[in-house]
Structure 1
Amino acid sequence: MEFIIISGLSGAGKSSAAAFLEDLGFYCVDNMPVALITNFAGLCMAGAGTGKYGRVALVTDIRGGQTFDELFQALDGLQEMHLDYQLLFIEAADEDIVRRYKETRHTHPLTRQGYSLPEAVKLERLALEPVRRRASHILNSTGLNLSKFRGELLRLFGMGALEESMTVSVTSFGFKYGIPIDADLVFDVRFLPNPYYIAELKECTGLEEAVRAFLFGYRQTTEFMRHLEELFAFLLPQYVEEGKSSLVIAVGCTGGHHRSVAVAHALTEFIRQKGYRVEETHRDISR
């Protein structure tokens, strides 16, 4: 079981880290009271066999003015339970944190005690230093956009092959019914020979071998697929490196029955062979 405890400075990105880990299949809990960590871990260990709690991440918020005995006792308790946890400490430069609070208009927890925002940030950093020293990983989010931040998390925890961190969805569609609104990339294959005008293929779909044999018997289809595969062999690792968790590729022809279906199916197989998690759908195949 993977068990990650996320702590660090307010405004540094703890909740964003939990949200990204949730996208990767972690069961995440935000703002977990320190006193409940060991009990929660025990419940997760008991349910790990079901697959639901195989990956767990929780955010715990402890700040200045408190002792850290309770947190450290919880960490020691996890070791006694033979749970191989990781403590991720997220921080950022004072200037970055102050700017983020100014932009979001959220209130730093310590400003409620009468401190100015810069003073609150400095006090919290000082108070959290004992936790920082116990951290398995320290992530500084200064200057990182969300994509780079997600990429750093991905590299830190090495969650299987990098390809598995992104889900690719390939869908075929018919232009006469509109472009899918969630598409990241759209390809128009209406330039390919149309099986619709072949009597014995008209009522078939691009999932049937006869249609695929017809389409891929033309040089322009095989040339197009070669270029398309080269493009995605280059693009997909770039999206993974950027921290993208999902990519929707839409392939369209006139009605969404023949050409787009066959090309989307072939592209799906290529992406699957590259090791990516890929889903295949055909939006308009039954229209």
Structure 2
Amino acid sequence: MNRKIVIVTGMSGSGKSTAAKTLEDVGFFCVDNLPVDLLPKLLELADSTGGEIARLALIIDLRQREFFPRYSSIMKSLELAGVSLDVLFLDSRDDVLVRRYSQTRRQHPLAPRGNLLDGINKERKELQEIRERSDWIIDTSDMTVHQLRDEIRKIFNSYRSDYLKVVVMSFGFGKGVPVESDMVLDVRFLPNPFFVEELKAKDGRDPSVANWLLGHEVTRKFLDKFEELLTFLLPLYIREGKQYFTISIGCTGGFHRSVLVAEHIAQLLVRNDYTRVEVKHRELGT
């Protein structure tokens, strides 16, 4: 199978942790400082997942110093195995790295007891070859964490970094509001099928319940307005880097109105190619 490996490396303090988190968000399986000799075993394990792990990101710094002298031979062996290998190199100016280390009070890996600038200079020399062969170089000196994340997303936009996983959950207020909720909607103002004898024992997925509820103008108007709100909001959440969003829709018992609304909203969202949608009905156990 086609496999994508991205090597994330660069100067210590330049933002590799942020890069790793962003790559995870866009669908990469990230491994931090895997020993080079274990890479074939990792690829073997990835193949055994049946395609679940198609894109790997390896975060490599000077803790894996044996990688850099062997970079050329490793790259050739991966290409022969049908693996596509790209290198993302993060860099920053010396003065910025010094400031970041001072703020975090961390020790540079090449200057545990010595001068910080000496350690930075040694690291630059050791990383020079892989920097020259990198596919992308990002200077993070003047970037915020959000700007770095956005830049990485632009580079890897073919992996659908604009996806948002939306969970639409129905529930009954009598059993409490779901703690994982990002948005809570109370639909107890809608007409209640519970008081219609032939609908009482059914739930909101039943066509007769759905038709009865949608036969009321207030239900149709509400769904139209809620769809308009979500169409406005979800792209804004995506732009801010949100990857998961749970919409909890509640009614009295969690069997009729909330279930119908959750199903209807989920169907609307499925038509948006920037969202992946999952429907849950807490009180129905599904």
TM-score band (shorter)?
0.7 to 0.9
Contact 2:181 2:246 (C-alpha < 8 Å) held by counterparts: yes
Structure 1 residues 65 and 44: CA distance shift in structure 2, 3 A: closer
In the alignment, the residues of structure 1 paired with residue 36 and residue 22 of structure 2 have an alpha-carbon distance, to the nearest angstrom, of: 22
Residue 155 of structure 1: how far off its partner (Å) = 2.1
Offset of 1:138 from its aligned partner? 2.3
Once residues 77 and 193 of structure 1 are traced to their aligned partners in structure 2, the CA distance between those partners, rounded to angstroms, is 66
Give yes or no for contact 2:87–2:134 (8 Å, CA) kept in 1.
yes
Using the TM superposition, give the Cα deviation of residue 74 of structure 1 relative to its aligned residue in structure 2, in angstroms: 2.0
CA shift digits 1:47-98 (9 cap, x unpaired): 2782134211111113799894322332243334443211111234555544
Higher alpha-carbon deviation: 203-212 or 22-31: 22-31
Name the % identity.
Answer: 37
Partner residue, 1:30: 32
> Unpaired runs of 5+ in structure 1?
none
| 2:165 alignment counterpart | 167
Match of 2:8 in 1: 6
Out of 177, 187, 190, which is 1:189 matched to? Answer: 187
| Gap runs ≥5 in structure 2 | none
Displacement of 1:184? 0.9
- For 2:108 and 2:60, the matched residues in 1 are separated by 16
How far 1:286 sits from its partner (Å)?
A: 5.6
The 2-side partners of 1:51 and 1:216 are apart by 42
Between 135-144 and 205-214, report the one with greater CA deviation.
Answer: 135-144
Q: Does 1:231 align with 2:229?
A: yes
| TM-score, normalising length: structure 1 | 0.84
Change (3 A) 1:65 1:52: closer
Q: Distance in 2 between matches of 1:20 and 1:67?
A: 23
Residues in 2 aligned to 1:187 and 1:64: alpha-carbon distance in whole angstroms = 50
Name the SS for the 1:206 alignment partner: coil
SS in 1 for 2:131: helix
Q: Secondary structure at the match of 2:57?
A: strand
CA 1:226–1:8: 2 relative to 1, 3 Å: same
Q: Which residue of 2 aligns with 1:84?
A: 84
Closer/same/farther in 2, CA of residues 259 and 121 from structure 1, 3 Å limit: farther
Question: CA shift at 1:172, angstroms?
Answer: 0.8
SS of equivalent residue, structure 1 residue 19: helix
Q: TM-score, normalised by structure 2?
A: 0.84
Answer whether contact 1:6 1:87 (CA < 8 A) is retained.
yes
AA at the equivalent of 1:180: P
Do the aligned partners of 2:9 and 2:87 also contact (CA within 8 Å) in 1? yes
Which stretch of structure 1 is more off in the superposition, 14-23 or 64-73?
64-73
Q: C-alpha deviations, 1:223-279, integer Å up to 9, x for none?
A: 111111111112222222222111111111122111111111101111111122111
CA RMSD of aligned residues (A): 3.0
Letter in 2 for 1:174: G
8 Å CA contact 1:11–1:97 kept in 2: the answer is yes
Paired positions, count: 283
Are 2:41 and 1:43 equivalent residues in the alignment? no
CA contact under 8 A between 2:28 and 2:56: conserved in structure 1? yes
Counterpart Cα distance in 2 of 1:65 and 1:115: 20
SS of 1:235's equivalent in the other structure is helix
Q: CA separation in 2, counterparts of 1:73 and 1:87?
A: 15
CA contact (8 A) 2:26 2:160 kept: no
* Maintained 8 Å contact 1:35/1:74: no
The 5-angstrom pairing of residues 54-69 of structure 1 reads 54-62=54-62, 68-69=68-69
Aligned residue for 1:244?
Answer: 242
Which residue in 1 is equivalent to 2:70? 70
What is the Cα deviation at residue 23 of structure 1? 4.2
